[in-house]
Amino acid sequence: MYDNPRSILITGASSGIGAALARHYAGPDRKLFLGGRDQERLDAVAEQCRKAGAAVATFVGDVTDEAGIRDWITSCNDDSPLNLVIANAGVALGATEVGGLHQAAVDSFAINVNGVFNTVHPALEIMSKRRPYPVRDAQVAVMSSVMGYAGMARSPAYSTSKAAVKHYGQALRGAFRGMGIGVSVICPGYVGSALTAQNSAYMPFLMSADKAASIIARGLARNKPHITFPWQMVLITRLAINLPGFLVDRLNQPWGVPRLERQQGN
């Protein structure tokens, strides 16, 4: 089933939640395939996992490289048939000027959305070829965010890219359920990472990456459709998406960061 994966692939594993998940799963009889863009940090995480008893292989690359990621995932599966693939790599890009909106959106979707496609599609193709059905030893997880529950004025590109991931993960879960392949959508709140370290805005209910990894792993073991946390953010988001439109307009404004400046006409 899903509670004891032996062969695990994680993107964005050099820091934050990805690194914490690698450390959480590290142990004897575990093979970890860790991907990231920073060789030095990735090697440091890999060494921690090896000390815990895991066999570890690293890959330095970018999830926007469709062919490169596909080749990597294929070679990992050839080495040790993958039980769990976590598409974790992502960025949080913002814009404080109207002129920066386009590039922030393009770059966010390239990594947060296309990067997920490039990771889960080859994994699902490989897993779906296993027989007999239901396979029960194959699972993918995609990293969304609580901010993906609604379009946020504070971070238009990030929140909408994570909304796309959330809905796509939901769709994949239904599409592959009959094959016995689990698909879970992870929607964390604020978690300590390199991304949040750059954020000067107020971050309610901030938790450590290690605690987040423990929550995620428990949810994946149960093959939960959504792993959303902390509970306070779950409550807030569920209330927010059911508010009347006029209240959403009033509340959905940037807070703690500069507002987009209105462009001056000639």
Q: Residue 111: inside a domain, yes or no?
A: yes
Domain housing 245: 7-251
pLDDT at 209 over 70: yes
Q: Residue 2: inside a domain, yes or no?
A: no
Q: pTM for the complete prediction?
A: 0.89
Question: How many angstroms separate the most distant Cα atoms in the chain?
Answer: 67
Question: What pLDDT, on the 0 to 100 scale, is given for residue 235?
Answer: 83
pLDDT at 229 over 60: yes
Domain count across the chain: 1
Compute the distance between CA of residue 251 and CA of residue 150 in angstroms, rounded to an integer. Answer: 12
Question: What pLDDT, on the 0 to 100 scale, is given for residue 203?
Answer: 73
Question: What pLDDT, on the 0 to 100 scale, is given for residue 206?
Answer: 87
> Which residues, including other chains, have CB under 8 Å from residue 243's CB and lie 6 or more apart?
251
Residue 249 burial (CB count, 10 A): 11
Q: Residue 261: inside a domain, yes or no?
A: no
> Which residues, including other chains, have CB under 8 Å from residue 19's CB and lie 6 or more apart?
13, 41, 45, 209
pLDDT at 256 over 60: no
Q: Residue 56: inside a domain, yes or no?
A: yes
The model's confidence at residue 51, banded by pLDDT at 50, 70 and 90, is very high
Question: What are the structure tokens assigned to 183, written together?
Answer: 């698909």
The model's confidence at residue 264, banded by pLDDT at 50, 70 and 90, is very low
pLDDT at 196 over 90: no
Nearest CA to 127 among 236, 215, 7? Answer: 7
| Catalytic-residue membership of 158 | yes
Question: What are the structure tokens assigned to 237, written together?
Answer: 């988001």
Compute the distance between CA of residue 74 and CA of residue 78 in angstroms, rounded to an integer. Answer: 6
Q: What does the pLDDT look like over 91-134, one tens digit per residue? A: 988 765 666 788 989 999 999 999 999 999 999 999 999 989 99
Look up the CATH number of the domain holding residue 18: 3.40.50.720
Average pLDDT over residues 131-139: 91
The model's confidence at residue 152, banded by pLDDT at 50, 70 and 90, is confident
Q: Residue 262: inside a domain, yes or no?
A: no
Lowest mean pLDDT among 78-92, 203-217, 226-240: 226-240
Q: Residue 12: inside a domain, yes or no?
A: yes
Q: Residue 79: inside a domain, yes or no?
A: yes
- Point out the catalytic residue in the list 158, 168, 190, 202: 158
Q: Residue 170: inside a domain, yes or no?
A: yes
